[in-house]
């Protein structure tokens, strides 16, 4: 199935389907210094954060770009989702990545539109998940500056 899909859709389009990304002219430090505050403001718990470039460098694989990854959560929705749809567990908690690319800083997350479509018949869950994705996009736009 994956090979068939990959043969039909260009790789760049596939990446765009599965990610939601915005670009910022702010510095990495300006963006990353605001993540905790923006999480709190938008109703997310900051579960964990990684300076991923440091993680891979410590394993002997240094990279030239700074990459920060933030795991964030809204416990109410996580509980609702895992109660009715445990197969979504690998996609949790939500993640935001911040990195330098093509002269801009990119703030990206998983595009939840396909997941939202899959739970459309679960009205309350769909409503809450849609609110979460909207809050996540709002938070990313705040970080963008």
> Could you tell me if residue 102 is inside a domain?
yes
CATH code of 66's domain: 3.30.310.70
Number of domains in the chain: 1
Q: What residues contact 103, with CB distance under 8 A and at least 6 apart?
A: none
pLDDT of 68 > 90? The answer is yes
Question: For residue 115, what are the domain limits?
Answer: 19-144
Neighbours of 34 (CB within 10 A): 16
Q: Is residue 126 part of a domain?
A: yes
* 8 lies in some domain: no
Number of alpha carbons in the 13 Å side-chain half-sphere of residue 107: 24
Asked, for residue 9, whether it belongs to a domain, the answer is no
- What's the pTM value of the predicted model, to 2 decimals? 0.89
Is 7 a domain residue?
no
- Express each pLDDT in 114-139 by its tens digit: 889 999 999 999 999 999 999 999 99
Classify residue 89: in a domain, yes or no. Answer: yes
Q: Is 1 inside a domain boundary?
A: no
CA geometry: angle at 89 spanning 87 and 90, to 5°? 100
């Amino acid at each position: 199935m994956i090979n068939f899909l990959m043969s039909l859709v260009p790789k760049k389009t596939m990446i765009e389907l599965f990610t939601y990304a915005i670009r910022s002219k702010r510095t990495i430090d300006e963006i990353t210094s605001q993540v905790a505050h923006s999480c709190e403001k938008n109703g997310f718990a900051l579960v964990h954060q990684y300076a991923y470039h440091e993680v891979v460098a410590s394993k002997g694989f240094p990279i030239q770009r700074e990459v920060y990854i933030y795991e964030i959560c809204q416990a109410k929705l996580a509980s609702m989702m895992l109660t009715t749809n445990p197969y979504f567990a690998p996609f949790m908690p939500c993640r935001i990545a911040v990195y330098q690319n093509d002269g801009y800083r990119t703030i990206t997350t998983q595009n939840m539109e396909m997941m939202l479509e899959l739970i459309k018949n679960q009205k309350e869950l769909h409503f809450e998940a849609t609110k979460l994705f909207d809050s996540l996009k709002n938070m990313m736009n705040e970080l963008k500056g």
